[in-house]
C-alpha cells in the first residue's frame, strides 16, 4: 500500500517493531531475574502471552487492503478503501493499475519455473544472498545469546542482562535512523556504511577479547575493557540496525516483478529462517572452540557481503516496483546477463 517515496520508511517500521519487542523482552528478563524464588523465568515466559493477545484482538479490527479486496472481486469496497488510505477521492489511475495488476497476477501460472529463467537471475541471486549474508553478520549471536556471551567473557549475571538491555536500546534507536534516512540517502549507501562499521567494530571486539582471554579462554575484564567491549558491540548493533537489519527485508521485497514475486519472497524468507536456525544451533559450540576467533569469522563474512553489495546491487530507492526491471538492465554486470538472455531468445525466434 505504500507509495514509492515512502516505501522504504514504512517497510522498515516492521523491523522497528521487532527492535521494540526485543528491548521490552530484555527489560522483562532483567526485571524478572531479580525475583525471589524460582518464579522469574515463569513470569518472563508467561508475559509472552500479552503481545499474542494484542495481536489476536487487533486482527479483528484490521481492515483488508485494496489489493486483497480486488482479488476477491469486491472492487467497489476496494476503491473506497483506497480513497481512505490515500486521503483523497482522486485515486482513479492508481485503482486502474491495481485492477490491471490483479488481472495479470491471475495469468501467472508457474512462478517457480519463471524465477529460474536467466532474465530473473539478479532477483534470484539477491533472494538467496541477502538473507544469507544478513544472518552471517553474526547479529543473532548478539541478540539471541547476549546474556550468555557477556557472561562468558567475564560479566556477572546482572551485568550481562543489563548489557543486553543496552544493546537492545541501541538497536531500537538506530532502526529509527534507518526509517529517517533510507528514502533520502538510498539503500546502497546504508548497506555499505553499515558493513564497514560492523567490520571494524567486530575486529576491535575480537582484539579486546584476544588480549584478555587468549587462546585458553581464561581471564577477566577490567571495568575499562568491559566498557570498551559493550561500546563496540553497541557500535556494531547500531550499524546492523540501520543497514542490514531492515534492508535485508526491504530490498528483496521491492525487486521482484509480479510473475515471480510469490516465489521470490518465499525463497527470501525461507533462506533467512534457515540460517537463523543454523546459527542458533551452532553458536555455543563455535564460541567454545573458536573463542575470540568467532568475531573474526563473522567479520570476514561482513567484508565479503559489503563487497557483494558494492559490485552487484543497484540503487532501488524511489523506483516504482513495476519499473524495477529497468534498473537491472542498466546495471554493468546484470545488464549483460539479461541482454545475453534476450539475444538468445531473438536467435531462437
Q: Is the pLDDT of residue 94 over 80?
A: yes
Helix (H), strand (E) at residue 305: helix 293-312
For residues 46 and 161, the model is more confident at 46
Supply the pLDDT for residue 342: 54
Task: Set out the domains of the chain in order of their start, with CATH numbers.
Answer: 110-349 (1.20.1250.20)
Question: Cα 261 from chain centroid?
Answer: 18
pLDDT in tens, 232-275: 988 999 999 999 999 999 999 889 887 788 899 999 999 999 99
pLDDT, position 346: 47
pLDDT of 167-219, one tens digit each?
Answer: 889 999 999 999 999 989 999 999 999 999 999 999 998 898 888 777 766 66
pLDDT score, position 160: 72
Cell numbers standing for residue 295 = 568475531
Number of H helices, E strands in the chain: 17, 0
Q: What is the CA radius of gyration of the chain?
A: 23
Region of residue 2 (left: phi > 0; alpha: psi -120 to 50; beta: else): beta
Residue 147 has pLDDT above 80, yes or no: no
Query: Looking at the predicted structure, is the pLDDT value of residue 155 above 70?
Result: no
Which position has the higher pLDDT, 315 or 212?
A: 315
Average pLDDT, the chain: 86
N-terminal to C-terminal alpha carbon distance within the chain: 39
DSSP letter string, 308-333: HHHHH----TT--GGGHHHHHHHSTT
Amino acid at each position: 500500500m505504500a507509495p514509492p517515496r515512502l516505501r522504504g520508511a514504512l517497510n522498515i517500521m516492521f523491523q522497528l517493531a521487532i527492535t521494540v519487542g526485543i528491548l521490552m523482552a530484555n527489560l522483562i528478563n532483567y526485571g524478572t531475574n531479580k525475583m525471589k524464588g524460582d518464579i522469574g523465568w515463569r513470569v518472563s515466559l508467561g508475559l509472552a502471552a500479552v503481545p499474542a493477545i494484542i495481536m489476536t484482538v487487533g486482527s479483528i479490527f484490521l481492515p483488508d487492503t485494496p489489493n486483497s479486496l480486488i482479488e476477491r472481486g469486491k472492487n467497489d469496497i476496494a476503491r473506497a478503501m483506497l480513497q481512505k488510505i490515500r486521503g483523497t477521492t482522486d485515486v482513479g489511475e492508481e485503482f486502474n493499475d491495481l485492477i490491471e495488476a490483479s488481472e495479470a497476477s491471475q495469468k501467472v501460472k508457474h512462478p517457480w519455473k519463471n524465477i529460474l529463467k536467466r532474465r530473473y537471475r539478479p532477483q534470484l541471486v539477491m533472494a538467496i544472498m541477502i538473507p544469507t549474508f544478513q544472518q552471517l553478520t553474526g547479529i543473532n549471536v548478539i541478540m539471541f545469546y547476549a546474556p550468555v556471551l557477556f557472561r562468558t567473557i567475564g560479566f556477572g549475571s546482572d551485568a550481562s542482562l543489563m548489557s543486553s538491555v543496552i544493546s537492545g536500546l541501541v538497536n531500537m534507536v538506530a532502526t529509527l535512523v534507518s526509517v529517517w534516512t533510507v528514502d533520502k540517502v538510498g539503500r546502497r549507501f546504508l548497506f555499505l556504511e553499515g558493513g564497514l562499521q560492523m567490520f571494524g567494530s567486530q575486529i576491535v571486539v575480537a582484539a579486546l577479547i584476544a588480549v584478555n582471554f587468549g587462546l585458553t579462554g581464561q581471564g577477566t575484564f577490567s571495568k575499562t575493557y568491559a566498557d570498551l567491549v559493550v561500546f563496540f558491540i553497541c557500535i556494531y548493533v547500531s550499524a546492523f540496525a540501520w543497514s542490514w537489519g531492515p534492508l535485508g527485508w526491504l530490498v528483496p521485497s521491492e525487486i521482484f516483478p509480479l510473475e515471480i514475486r510469490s516465489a521470490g519472497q518465499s525463497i527470501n524468507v525461507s533462506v533467512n529462517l534457515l540460517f537463523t536456525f543454523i546459527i542458533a544451533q551452532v553458536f555455543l559450540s563455535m564460541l567454545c572452540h573458536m573463542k575470540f576467533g568467532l568475531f573474526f569469522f563473522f567479520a570476514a563474512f561482513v567484508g565479503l557481503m559489503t563487497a557483494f553489495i558494492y559490485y552487484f546491487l543497484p540503487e532501488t530507492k524511489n523506483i516504482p516496483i513495476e519499473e524495477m526491471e529497468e534498473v537491472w538492465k542498466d546495471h554493468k554486470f546484470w545488464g549483460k546477463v539479461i541482454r545475453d538472455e534476450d539475444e538468445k531468445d531473438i536467435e531462437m525466434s
